Structure 1
Amino acid sequence: MAALDNCKDAAAPPPPVVTVTSTRNVAPAAPKCVLATFDLPYITFYYNQKLLLYRLPNGASDFPDAVARMSASLSDALAYFHPLAGRIRQDHHDGSLSIDGHHGAEVIEASADQVSVDELAGEECSEEAEKVMQLLVPYTGVMNLEGLHRPLLAVQLTRLRDGVAVGCAFNHAVLDGTSTWHFMTSWAELCRGAGAPSLLPVHNRGMARSVRVNLPLPPSADAHEKTDPNGPKKPLVARKAIDEHDAGAITRRLEEYEAAPKLFHYSDAGPNCVAVGSSPRFRVYDVDFGFGRPERVRSGGNNKFDGMVYLYPGRGGDGGIDVELSLQPEPMQRLDKDQDFLQMRAP
Structure 2
Amino acid sequence: MQTRAALAVRVAVPGTAALPPEPLRLSALDAQWVTFPLIQRVFNFVDGAGDIPPFASAVDALRESLAETAARFPPLARRIVHRPATGDAAIDCAGAGSETMAAQVTRLRGRLVLGVAMHHAVADGRSVWRFLEAWAAACCGDADNDAEPPTSDRTAIRLPGGEELARAVLHKYAPDVPMAGGGEADEHVCSSAALCLTAFATRLGKGRRWHWA
Which has a greater percent of helix?
1
Cα 1:72–1:29, aligned 2, differ >3 Å: closer, same or farther?
closer
Q: Which of 97, 104, 110 is residue 156 of structure 1 equivalent to?
A: 104
Q: What's 2:80 paired with?
A: 88
Contact 2:82 2:89 (C-alpha < 8 Å) held by counterparts: yes
Q: What's 1:189 paired with?
A: 137
2:99, 2:53 → 1: CA distance?
Answer: 30
Q: Which of 193, 196, 200 is residue 149 of structure 2 equivalent to?
A: 200
Q: What's 1:313 paired with?
A: none
Q: What's 1:48 paired with?
A: 39
Contact 1:156 1:168 (C-alpha < 8 Å) held by counterparts: yes
Question: Does 1:174 find its partner at 2:122?
Answer: yes
Contact 1:35 1:205 (C-alpha < 8 Å) held by counterparts: yes
Contact 1:59 1:162 (C-alpha < 8 Å) held by counterparts: no
Gaps of 5+ in 2: 1-15, 181-196, 199-213
Q: Which of 71, 75, 79 is residue 67 of structure 2 equivalent to?
A: 75
Contact 1:88 1:99 (C-alpha < 8 Å) held by counterparts: yes
Contact 1:50 1:168 (C-alpha < 8 Å) held by counterparts: yes
**Which digits, 9 at most, give the CA deviation of each residue in 1:284-307, with x for residues without a partner?**
xxxxxxxxxxxxxxxx99xxxxxx
**Which digits, 9 at most, give the CA deviation of each residue in 1:1-50, with x for residues without a partner?**
xxxxxxxxxxxxxxxxxxxxxxxxxx998523221211111112121111
Matched pairs, number: 153
Runs of 4 or more above 6 Å deviation: none
Secondary structure of 2:70's aligned partner: helix
TM-score w.r.t. the length of structure 2 is 0.63
2:86, 2:102 → 1: CA distance?
Answer: 30
- Per the TM alignment, residue 169 of structure 1 is displaced from its structure 2 partner at its CA by 0.8
Secondary structure of 2:102's aligned partner: strand
- Per the TM alignment, residue 84 of structure 1 is displaced from its structure 2 partner at its CA by 0.7
Cα 1:82–1:62, aligned 2, differ >3 Å: closer, same or farther?
same
Cα 1:30–1:60, aligned 2, differ >3 Å: closer, same or farther?
closer
- Per the TM alignment, residue 90 of structure 1 is displaced from its structure 2 partner at its CA by 2.3
Q: Which of 176, 198, 202 is residue 218 of structure 1 equivalent to?
A: 176
Q: Which of 73, 79, 97 is residue 89 of structure 2 equivalent to?
A: 97
Contact 2:24 2:91 (C-alpha < 8 Å) held by counterparts: yes
Between the two structures, name the one with larger relative contact order (CA 8 Å, sep ≥ 6).
Answer: 2
Query: Which AA in structure 2 matches 1:208?
Result: I
**Which digits, 9 at most, give the CA deviation of each residue in 1:293-341, with x for residues without a partner?**
xxxxxxx99xxxxxxxxxxxxxxxxxxxxxxxxxxxxxxxxxxxxxxxx
Which has a greater percent of strand?
2
Contact 1:35 1:97 (C-alpha < 8 Å) held by counterparts: yes
Secondary structure of 2:115's aligned partner: strand
- Per the TM alignment, residue 172 of structure 1 is displaced from its structure 2 partner at its CA by 0.7
TM-score w.r.t. the length of structure 1 is 0.40
Structure label with greater radius of gyration = 1
